[in-house]
A and B are shown apart, each in its own frame.
Chain A
């Protein structure tokens, strides 16, 4: 133990920070979910009451459905576009660094600033998007005041933000594919499109699964995009109310920290379920 003290010290900062900001909140969340607490006063043990309230709470299930819908509408285009962009970047010869930076910038831009810009793009009356729609001869669409408008708007924001990030990861995966394989395909007369779908995608399966899992965990925790675009209540029909937004609303707006924690546990179970599904997919992929 003494002998390795410097090594332990060197890795200690991570574990200390993780303990305080990662582990403790998780354990405390599990504890809190069995109590009622307004944030200041006494905590009161209520057994499974909060969980009974959760499973019979229509708004919780609505937030789950909203989250899943937004997740599908954002993740599928994000991963598809990311792959296409990575492939194009990989094959191009000029300005590659510039493009890589350009595509990566959205994922490090302040989400609040982005959401405010998108808010004025999607605004019904003065929005940039509706100006284009009207110029093309269409009628103004209620982007942020109708159920599907809200979901599409949030999804578009997520796609814009994360496509570049995934493209960079795919690019790293692409660079690991031996060029001989692609050259051989070209010699055999495969088109670029065929090379992408028949050679690149199968060889990139592990990378694609990684991005799928990362996007699942991220997508199920969508919060800021919805909060800034449609507000803490989730907009008309609560169509933009995601699970994390609902958690935030109950805990920090209505000071119902006990129920907020219970929603957190529910969210954990949903993420766990999807991670298990992903894991099974990976397992199956690795079987010969």
Chain B
């Protein structure tokens, strides 16, 4: 009896696989990538739409299925840090411009729109959310040291305030954060549109020098991202500020709940920047790209983006949503400040920058060497020489000029 049941189940499972056809419209997303309510409504509105949560290692799964040319989703999420990795194989995706994307362009933030477009002009990603940055700071600690965040314009102002707070509190968590944000403020990154390595240019050196300066001034705590010590340092006020994207507010609330009411948000010293934010793309295996495009534009319309922020804190990429009174709510964690407005202002000023497919790999070398300076005490000039040597080698290896 038991054996028969088992065989019957096996048969059912086999039948389930066999009936897997390309009917309908599959949409791959990770958890928390799109509002559940929006997806439910879209499923009702567009019959045949089947949203699937592909879970962790999203990029690897998508790449595997694209390489295997089977069970490729029709519509897929593309993380901001991954999208450029697909640029060399942009032909795997539908060109959204040929589907009429240009008509929607005015509704979205220009710099975000640009990030979904390859150097050759093929648009493979439609904007979901963004991560405009701001300066999160401890109001109480700043007051105690007579520092006012409103007076920060440049990194130098910010660093000076850090020096004024010594030795009571550190201003910066780690060097990597300074470098990452300073690079995010730059129009140019490590590789330009012509596949040329520009990681030894002045704009990179400037970001590097800022990080090194923070180190020399002794205003960093040297606590690395992701370590449990981050929360302790932020709760006690031992580290009095943090430059992070809008989504970092949620991390702060869950990681340092005891410091509720003591935090405020100010504009990022040195200018607006972005960190994170995703896209939706349509693969070339989609048999009804027009319908898929209709679904994408509906899911990512300004109205649905309001929902995305309310449900999941996805910061809108469509400025029309910025005016929504539902989003512009005072936040008790931040002493009743309407932090949404600060981030919205930042989102409008993010510079347009070309993100090449090699940014994550090359950036990692810079992060590693900065960590070496900070944790192991490596001399900064030696670290810079090493990072340039390593980056040049990889640039040659992957065929950059």
Residues of A within 8 A of B (CB): 36, 38-41, 53, 56-59, 120, 123-126, 144-147, 231, 233, 236-238, 252-256, 259
Contacts and interface: CB of A to CB of B under 8 A. Distances in A.
A145 B60 contact: no
A79 B71 CA distance: 46
Contact of B85 (A36, A125, A233, A255): A255
Given A125-B229, A125-B232, A58 B390 contact: yes
Majority-rule SS of A interface residues: loop
Nearest to B364: A233
Nearest to B64: A39
B372 interface: yes
Given A125-B229, A125-B232, A237-B375, 14 more contacts: A57-B393, A58-B390, A120-B228, A123-B227, A123-B229, A145-B224, A145-B227, A145-B375, A146-B375, A236-B376, A238-B368, A253-B360, A256-B361, A259-B397
B325 interface: no
Interface string B224-238: 101111001000000
Nearest to B372: A237
A21 to B, nearest CB: 15
Contacts of A125: 227-229, 232
Identify the interface centre among B64, B226, B361: most chain A CB within 10 Å of its CB: B361
B360 A254 contact: yes
12 contacts: A36-B398, A39-B64, A40-B89, A56-B393, A57-B393, A124-B228, A125-B228, A145-B227, A145-B375, A238-B368, A253-B361, A254-B360
B85 A53 contact: no
B376 A147 contact: yes
B364 to A, nearest CB: 6
A124 B367 CA distance: 21
A144 B67 contact: no
A255 B372 CA distance: 25
B387 to A, nearest CB: 12
Interface residues of B, number: 28
B55 interface: no
Interface in B159-195: none
A41 B89 contact: yes
Nearest to B376: A237
Identify the interface centre among A124, A255, A256: most chain B CB within 10 Å of its CB: A255
A83 B371 CA distance: 41
Interface of B: 60, 63-64, 66-67, 85, 88-89, 92, 224, 226-229, 232, 360-361, 364, 367-368, 371-372, 375-376, 390, 393, 397-398
Contacts of A123: 227-229
Contacts of B376: 147, 236-237
A236 B63 contact: no
B125 to A, nearest CB: 16
A18 B259 CA distance: 56
Nearest to B57: A252
Contacts of B228: 120, 123-126
B63 A255 contact: yes
A233 B67 contact: no
Contacts of A255: 63, 85
Which 10 residue pairs are nearest across A and B when measured between Cβ atoms? A125-B229, A236-B375, A40-B89, A254-B361, A123-B228, A39-B63, A41-B89, A236-B371, A125-B232, A40-B66
Nearest to B63: A39
A264 B67 CA distance: 20
B372 A236 contact: yes
Contacts of A56: 393
Contacts of B60: 252
A124 B227 contact: yes
A144 B228 CA distance: 11
Contacts of B360: 253-254
Contacts of B92: 40
A56 to B, nearest CB: 8
Contacts of A146: 375
Nearest to B225: A231
A123 B224 CA distance: 12
B89 A38 contact: yes
B375 A38 contact: no
A36 B67 CA distance: 15
Nearest to B396: A53
Contacts of B393: 53, 56-57
A39 B224 contact: no
Given A126-B232, A237-B375, A38 B88 contact: yes
A233 B224 contact: no
Given A40-B66, A53-B397, A58-B390, A233 B375 contact: no
Contacts of B364: 233
Contacts of A237: 371-372, 375-376
Contacts of A53: 393, 397
Contacts of A39: 63-64, 67
Contacts of B371: 236-237
A39 B66 CA distance: 9
A238 B365 CA distance: 11
A266 to B, nearest CB: 15
A285 B68 CA distance: 49
